[in-house]
Amino acid sequence: MSGMNAVLVFPGQGSQRIGMLDDIPELEALDRLLDAAEALTGRDLRRLQREGTPAEIADTRVAQPLLYLADWAWGRVLLDVGVSPVAVAGHSLGELAALAVAGVYSVEAGLELVCERALLMAEAVAERPGSMAAVLGLEGQTVAEVLENASGVWVANDNAPGQIVISGLRDSVASAGNALLSAGARRVIPLDVAGAFHSPLMQQAADRFSRLLDVTEFHEARVPVVQNARPEPATDASEIRSALADQIASPVRWTETMHALARYEPVTLVEAGPGSVLRGLAKRVDGISSVSVEDTDVQALVEEVLR
């Protein structure tokens, strides 16, 4: 991977899958961190990631710590084999792994934040259930204009040109979906989630999470981080803390994140975590090539260097 401007990006909830920790090259710290995650969550995360049902690992209290560890571990492996990223970013939950890899806080502190974040979000869902839907074929501005006339529904993720996610109260999301189809959306696909993530319905969880961040030790980032709520490269600890506090109840501005990362041209996006969702989104943005750690050639390179 030498001779390129690499940016590491870390996927978020939805990318979890059975066995997602099993393909990671041997990393001594991972076993210890899994012990800590099981103690923090009270759940048998090792068994769930190997034998759980899709529904069991989709539970936000299971998916978030497992994904955080998978993302962080792949990030560490890439750093260990000599990848020197010019920037990092993460999609939703993935941002917490990006910050750990950038040295903003320790991996252990990040794990505690993730487990508490998952619990707060699960509690918010129980108090104020909601839903989300992916809108295909419309640009973000058009979606936002349609939603101006709606209540209880908001843009949650601007993932890529032509792929927007809306979030809110169930009936409001359904009504907005019909309005968006009338406005020219190619498809509106309900997402298999229990809550209205990245919307004002998560504000109580965001407020509680912010108080946790206030007592967590943050450091200057060793490499610029492009965050969901403020998609410009940042290294200042207080700026990063503030943007992370806003993230739970704010939209994931991923299209803007990709444009910010594209300024490091020529740039290769390396998806450090399960799946290739972020690689797929990057293909819609000019000036970015992309690979995934789960691609055969990347895995072969990593294994050869570690041998």
Q: pLDDT tens digits for 27-72?
A: 789 999 999 999 999 999 999 999 999 889 989 999 999 999 999 9
Q: Which residues contact 284 (CB under 8 A, 6 or more apart)?
A: 160, 161, 162, 163
Q: Which of 15, 92, 167, 276 is catalytic?
A: 92
> What pLDDT, on a 0 to 100 scale, did the predictor assign at position 203?
96
Q: State how far the Cα of 107 lies from the Cα of 29, in Å rounded to an integer.
A: 10
> What pLDDT, on a 0 to 100 scale, did the predictor assign at position 33?
96
Domains and CATH numbers, the chain: 5-127+199-306 (3.40.366.10), 131-190 (3.30.70.250)
> What pLDDT, on a 0 to 100 scale, did the predictor assign at position 284?
85
> What pLDDT, on a 0 to 100 scale, did the predictor assign at position 186?
97
> What pLDDT, on a 0 to 100 scale, did the predictor assign at position 1?
46
> What pLDDT, on a 0 to 100 scale, did the predictor assign at position 135?
98
- 234-250 per-position pLDDT tens digit: 999 999 999 999 999 99
Q: Which of 198, 276, 290, 292 is catalytic?
A: 198
Closest CA to 248 of 220, 287, 213, 291: 213
> What pLDDT, on a 0 to 100 scale, did the predictor assign at position 296?
61
Annotated catalytic, 198?
yes
Q: Is 31 exposed, middle or buried (0-12, 13-18, 19+ CB in 10 A)?
A: exposed
In terms of DSSP H, where are the helices of the chain?
28-41, 45-51, 54-58, 60-80, 94-101, 107-127, 140-147, 170-182, 203-214, 237-247, 254-262, 277-282, 296-306
pTM of the shown model: 0.94
> What pLDDT, on a 0 to 100 scale, did the predictor assign at position 73?
96
- Which residues of the chain have a pLDDT value below 50? 1-2
Strand order in the sheet with 187-190: 153-160, 163-168, 131-136, 187-190
> What pLDDT, on a 0 to 100 scale, did the predictor assign at position 50?
95
> What pLDDT, on a 0 to 100 scale, did the predictor assign at position 303?
61
Sign of torsion over alpha carbons 70, 72, 75, 81: negative
> What pLDDT, on a 0 to 100 scale, did the predictor assign at position 28?
82
> What pLDDT, on a 0 to 100 scale, did the predictor assign at position 26?
77
161: region left, alpha or beta (phi > 0 left; psi from -120 to 50 alpha):
beta
Strand order in the sheet with 267-271: 225-226, 87-90, 5-10, 267-271, 288-292
Q: Which residues contact 45 (CB under 8 A, 6 or more apart)?
A: 34, 37, 38, 62, 65, 66
> What pLDDT, on a 0 to 100 scale, did the predictor assign at position 2?
47
36-39: long-range pairs with CB below 8 Å, 24+:
36/108, 36/111, 37/65, 37/66, 37/69, 37/111, 37/115
Annotated catalytic, 290?
no
- 67-99 per-position pLDDT tens digit: 999 999 999 999 998 999 999 999 999 999 999
164 within 8 A of 134, measured Cβ to Cβ: yes
291 within 8 A of 298, measured Cβ to Cβ: yes
